[in-house]
Structure 1
Amino acid sequence: MRYVCVLLISLSGLLLSGQSVGPNPPSELQVLQSREIQLAKQEIERVTDLVNAGALPRIRLEEAEQKLADAQDEVILSRTLYGEMPVKNLTEEMADEMVAAAQRRVERQTKKIEETQKLITQGVLPQVAINPLQDELQMRTMNLNLAHSRAKLMGELIALNRYELSMKALQAATHVEPYTDYTMHSMVHYSGNGMLLGTNDLHQLETSFAKRFEHPLPISADGQTATHNVLGFDHRGRVDVAVNPTDPEGMWLRHYLEAKGVPYYAFMRAIPGKATGAHIHIGPGSMKLHNAD
């Protein structure tokens, strides 16, 4: 049970460690683990020499290698499963590494129990020799289950962090600054990239607008309409939105379009032959229709 309390604390710590922290000196546990790995490597060198000399069976070398691998995986779990870290430092690769390390430790312990059981069956070891191994397997299995749970939590926190960052970027791109001179003009034109608004782009705009103002985007014309036929304009691929360009909704829409390079015409009032009232025309200017005759 050496890491259970630490683990329960660190799981809640994931939710609280959103702020960056400075580098900390190695903990006592990290120092001990580093020392354990170093000793395991030295033991492999010693056993290798003895195996090559014929003084020890090769199985002893395999046991030493398994002990080193166990120690290395324990370091991974100490960093990812038992430890705390800021949410912004979490990655999917880290979660995968954590689960894989816990899984390997379970598999090694299971293999060790199987080998010990064979020796017990052969009468080489007493039955009680398997008890501590089973206790260790139970602990490792519990850690594997906790690793899966924490990996799921890490995935949710990573997704939440990415969403918050994307929302901050969108808010920065569509931030509305006060305009005092726009009311002096009847129309404002933003040329942008000169491209028409695609269907997916329009859906994204409608979603963003609804989230911001809690009501649908007031589209007054999507493509060609009878009004545009009367005015003699080819309005295909263009969208008209019934908002005043100087109101908060209109100013937000203009900033949104500018952030994405979408061209628009912002009409402050009705203009004979061009606009029947205040609105924002999304897309390049409408071309004049030509009669078939």
Structure 2
Amino acid sequence: MTNKLPAMRGLLIDLDGTLYHGIHRIDNADLLIAYLRETKLPFRFVTNNSSASPEEVAERLIHMGIAAVAEDVCTSAQAAAEYIANRSPGASVFVVGEAGLVRAVQAAGLVLSEEEPDYVLQGIDRSFTYERLTKAVRHIHGGATYVMTNPDLLLPSSDGLIPGAGSIGAMLRAAGGMEPILIGKPSSILMDYSLREIGLQANETWVIGDNMATDIAFGAAAGCGTILVLTGLTTADNLSHYMELADCEPTVVCNHLAELRAYISEHREV
């Protein structure tokens, strides 16, 4: 069976629910990342969360005792802004989202617009209002292309689950009458972006995460090896339910990050 596993020359690692819950580091997350740096196994932190810039994500990790730099981080906001900029350079964009998404749009040379935008770009927005929903829906009906950073319905936080970008997207899809272009996991758009950043092919890269529908489906669709960690959304109790919903299976299941580190140590390419 080992011979049939994809090569492990690099890792794409989820954040929320995998390395931390809200502001709380998951046990052994710091030791795992320290080990990857020590052994020089390439990796990127790949997150569907569009709310923070790579610099802010790295700073958050550092505050938790996890060594990080902005260049380690690939966000759905970066991939979304790049996608729109490549498709329509200088396009006008109505953003439903937070500061990280706004900064990514600006960095890509796109124009923020409240009136008659070319695109409605939607991510998580914890200050979302009915007025903002109304504007977005009217823009979509007016011909704007709808792009959604990620489909996560729920996110783990410090004190329990909270609605994700997919929950806001459910309203926009219903009222706007348009299926969005999906950027984040499990879409191939974020995968392609992340693989370019790490400089590897899918068949030599493994995806690590806690969510069957996003992280594991993301890796499986691309032909990566996948490791599900039972540290966040997916637990031993709901594993079979989420596997059925995702219609795929992880290559490996690890109960915790110490077990994950041991597996990587045994299977990494040297």
TM-score scaled to structure 1, two decimals? 0.20
RCO higher in 1 or 2 (8 Å CA, sep ≥ 6)?
2
In terms of fraction of residues, the more strand-rich structure is: 2
